[in-house]
Homo-oligomer: A and B are copies of this chain.
């Protein structure tokens, strides 16, 4: 080649950097001349130390990510082993840390918040238990044990724990496929407890092995779509209670539910249910409207459901409306949570299915709780420890599954009330749990006459909060593909099932990531005038191309089996296009394309297919008298090239530290060759 023959000609240097590069080409001949200050840049590149091997990296990863971080090494050596146990305990139970500084004035605030929370929680829990296909008391149980466990282990100060609408829907819609709750409620309940155990176990495992990233797989957009779809599905399910219907579909999709409602309305039904339900729904929505107008009146919407329950129950009891077809809750078993250890079904033939439902519930519950917890933590200016949160959620659900609870998590609506009511610590959760416990003992008899329509209207009133229209609009403005994920989750939940909605959303999200790896963009670069910066010529239309040079940047973190052929073909096509243009314009061969510079600054790794593709690229270009130059290869890439002896084939002098260096050397060599001619 023209250029390499130049490496031994003497050149007068203008620019230090240019000199460095040329020197590299003949650094074997007069190596000693280069003073340390003028060391050629590319020699730095070639002489970099070996990157850590895969095993070293794996061990490092496990040490930093899976094992707990041991930051307090100095303390450990000083302290005794009993203190070590205490510090471990403190790490697992944050209550031991902040509990000591807990003061009376904090408790006053927490007490108020806890009582407000309980007044919202009791009717909601009964309603959600109904949604989950369980008897009302199980909702109340779920508002006792999990909040107590969470308050000792959780790191959030605002999160209000208990049953939530979406998880209740999820459970009932998926467990129903295994066991019908109407024909055999006991068997159904056993499966629900087992699912709860699995959900807790999965959550604890995620926390223990720091697999918190699994929660991230459900992107924000997917969650917005999923929640909105679930809200509509839940709302439609409530039509059963609101209209007091008896025959109702088991399916959750819109079409089945609407046709079921339509058919039922043709049969005789009791309009009184609807009158009670809708009038109290209007009352609760009005209360919420007032609360939104004036933030100080936050307790009005928080109390409204309880007031509605009390009023509606009194009306039914006094007017004896039960005899006129108003459906009532009837018997609620009084007393605290009962042990349910012996009800767990580890020998069920559906164990795989149960574990799967547990996994899905675990992820949905965690995603919701962490999203809610994180947003309130950001407002108060502290950071949530995702892994500890998962541990806390896991243990609270395991404990719950042993004490007749179903899957609990952090609820958005109740956390917002807790926050508005001025809670300071998770003590508000303890207050709430104790209040619910007392009411389980005292109030259950009173709830006998509560109309089911009122429960439907309480659930319905909570739904608008799940539909985040402004969030969806924001996503539409920002990212169309994210919006597609949202829409897929929404319509998937609405028209197919909860699982299909989730699967679609996660599938599209990952397809997008895969696509960016399979079809990376290859950008032509140009120099921004009077700088050493090379930019995408589409992004910077003022960037100058250098004649005889083609500078391309590979924008993929891996040059691997999935994209190596694509990248090679794209580069060869670009070269062919340029050569085609040159032939049309009848450019002389010596003024034509001579060098392809490959900017590999974004490529983090390369596998055997990638190395092979680079080798083929080098050969094909060489057969067209074009030189392949690699600029700014990363550590591991360079190491692989050395291993594959590709640096010898491409020649070490064709590997440069930066694109600028490579271009400068080419331009200089070219102008010198013209001078020599």
> Chain A interface (Cβ within 8 Å of chain B)?
17, 37, 41, 44, 48-49, 51, 53-54, 212-213, 216-222, 378, 381, 383, 386, 474-475, 477-482, 509-510, 512-514, 516-521, 528, 530-533, 535-536, 538-542, 555-558, 560-566, 572, 601-602, 604-605, 607-609, 611-612, 616, 619-620, 623, 634-635, 640, 643-644, 657-658
Q: Once the chains bind, are A609 and B220 in contact (CB under 8 Å)?
A: yes
> A540 and B509 in contact (CB under 8 A), knowing A602-B555, A657-B533?
no
Q: Which of A386, A477, A619, A635 has the most CB of B within 10 A?
A: A635
Q: Are A604 and B555 in contact (CB under 8 A)?
A: yes
Q: What is the CB-to-nearest-CB distance from A509 to chain B, in angstroms, rounded to a whole number?
A: 6
> In the bound complex, do residue A643 and residue B566 qualify as a contact, i.e. CB atoms below 8 Å apart?
no
In the complex where A44-B540, A509-B562, A623-B381 touch, is A221 in contact with B517 (Cβ < 8 A)?
no
User: From A48, which residue of chain B is reached at the shortest CB distance?
Assistant: B539
25 contacting pairs across A/B (C-beta < 8 A): A37-B530, A41-B528, A41-B531, A44-B528, A44-B542, A49-B541, A51-B538, A213-B566, A216-B609, A220-B561, A378-B619, A386-B565, A478-B644, A479-B608, A509-B562, A513-B517, A513-B558, A520-B557, A521-B604, A539-B635, A555-B604, A557-B602, A601-B601, A601-B602, A602-B602
B54, A481: Cβ atoms closer than 8 Å: yes
Specify which of A216, A222, A623 lies most central, judged by the most chain B CB atoms within 10 Å of its CB. A216
For A605, the closest partner residue in chain B by CB is: B516
With A213-B565, A216-B564, A555-B602 known to touch, is A640 a contact of B478 (CB < 8 Å)? Answer: yes
Measured between alpha carbons, how far is A103 from B481 in the docked complex, in Å?
56
A218 and B565 alpha carbons, distance in the complex (Å): 12
* Nearest-CB residue, chain B, relative to A531: B41
Q: Which of chain B's residues have a CB closer than 8 A to the CB of A564?
A: 216
What's the minimum C-beta distance from A50 to chain B, rounded to whole angstroms? 10
Q: Which residues of B contact A381 (CB under 8 A)?
A: 623
Q: Which residues of B contact A561 (CB under 8 A)?
A: 216-222, 509
Query: How far, in whole Å, are A378 and B613 apart by their CA atoms in the complex?
Result: 12
Are A482 and B607 in contact, CB atoms less than 8 angstroms apart?
yes
**Could you tell me if A510 and B514 are in contact, using CB atoms closer than 8 angstroms?**
yes
Looking at the assembled complex, report how far the CB atom of A261 sits from the nearest CB atom of chain B, in whole angstroms: 35
Residue on B with the closest CB to A623?
A: B381
Q: Is the CB of A539 within 8 A of B634?
A: yes
Q: A513 and B217: CB pair below 8 A?
A: no
- The 8 A-B residue pairs with the shortest CB-CB distance in the complex, in nearest-first order: A219-B561, A539-B635, A602-B602, A54-B480, A482-B608, A513-B517, A479-B607, A555-B604
**B residues within 8 A CB of A386?**
565
Q: If A221-B608, A607-B482, A608-B221 touch, does A17 touch B558 (CB 8 Å cutoff)? A: no
Contacts of A601 on B, CB cut-off 8 Å?
601-602
Q: Is the CB of A616 within 8 A of B482?
A: no
Bound-complex Cα distance A96 to B565 (A) = 28
Q: How far is the CA of A565 from the CA of B381 in the complex (A)?
A: 17
A520 to B213, CA, bound (A): 12
Complex alpha-carbon distance, A648 and B378, angstroms:
20
Verify B560–A219 contact, CB threshold 8 A: yes
CA distance A528 to B532 in the complex (A): 15
- Closest Cβ of chain B: how far from A408's Cβ, in Å? 23
A518 with B557, Cβ < 8 A, contacts A478-B611, A478-B640, A528-B41 known = no
Nearest CB on B from A39, distance (A): 9
- Minimum C-beta distance from A632 to chain B (A): 8
Considering the chains assembled together, what is the distance between the CA atoms of A340 and B292 in angstroms?
74
Q: Considering the chains assembled together, what is the distance between the CA atoms of A530 and B41 in angstroms?
A: 10
For residue A54, which residues in chain B have a CB less than 8 angstroms away from its CB? 480-481
Does A516 lie within 8 Å of B217, measured CB to CB? no
Q: Which of B513, B530, B616 is the one whose CB lies under 8 Å from A562?
A: B513
Q: How far is the CA of A530 from the CA of B36 in the complex (A)?
A: 12
B residues near A531, Cβ cutoff 8 Å: 17, 41
CB-contact partner of A540 in B48, B218, B480, B520, under 8 A: B48
Q: Which residues of B contact A513 (CB under 8 A)?
A: 514, 517, 558, 560, 562
Shortest distance from the beta carbon of A54 to any chain B beta carbon, whole Å:
5
Shortest distance between the CB of A540 and any CB in chain B (Å): 6
Instruction: Please tell me which one of the listed residues B219, B539, B607, B644 contacts residue A607 in the complex, with CB atoms under 8 A apart.
Output: B219
Residues of B within 8 A of A602 (CB): 555, 557, 601-602
Q: Do B518 and A517 have beta carbons less than 8 Å apart?
A: no
Q: Which residues of B contact A478 (CB under 8 A)?
A: 607-608, 611, 640, 643-644
How many angstroms from the CA of A658 to the CA of B658 in the assembled complex? 14
A510 surroundings in chain B (CB, below 8 A): 514, 562
The docked-state distance in angstroms from the alpha carbon of A477 to that of B611 is 12
Chain B residue numbers with a CB within 8 Å of A514 are 510, 513-514
**In the complex, chain B residues whose CB is within 8 Å of the CB of A528:** 41, 44
Max count, chain B CB within 10 A of own CB: residue among A222, A516, A572, A644: A516
Interface contact B607-A562, CB-CB below 8 Å:
no
Q: List the B residue with the shortest CB-CB distance to A539.
A: B635
Q: Specify which chain B residues have a CB less than 8 angstroms from the CB of A221 in the assembled complex.
A: 561, 607-609
| A49 to B535 CA separation, bound complex (whole angstroms) | 13
Closest residue of B by beta carbon distance from A38: B530
Q: A658: which of B383, B475, B533, B540 is its contact (CB, 8 Å)? A: B533
Closest partner residue, chain B, to A53 (CB atom): B480
Contact check, A378 vs B566: say whether CB atoms are below 8 A apart.
Answer: no
User: A516, B558: Cβ atoms under 8 Å?
Assistant: yes
Name the residue among A37, A51, A609, A634 with the largest chain B CB count within 10 angstroms. Answer: A609
Closest to A533 in B: B658
Residues in chain B near residue A216, CB distance under 8 A: 561-566, 609
Q: Which residue from B37, B222, B538, B608 sits with its C-beta under 8 Å from A220?
A: B608
Given A54-B480, A386-B565, A477-B643, 16 extra CB contacts under 8 A:
A37-B530, A44-B540, A53-B480, A54-B481, A213-B565, A216-B565, A216-B566, A219-B607, A222-B561, A474-B608, A481-B607, A512-B558, A520-B557, A555-B557, A557-B602, A601-B601
Q: Is the CB of B518 within 8 A of A213?
A: yes
Q: Which residue of B lies closest to A616 (CB)?
A: B378
Shortest distance from the beta carbon of A150 to any chain B beta carbon, whole Å: 21
Give the Cβ gap from A302 to chain B, nearest Cβ, in Å.
29
- Nearest CB on B from A555, distance (A): 5
Q: Given the complex, which residues of B lie within 8 Å of A480, measured CB to CB?
A: 53-54
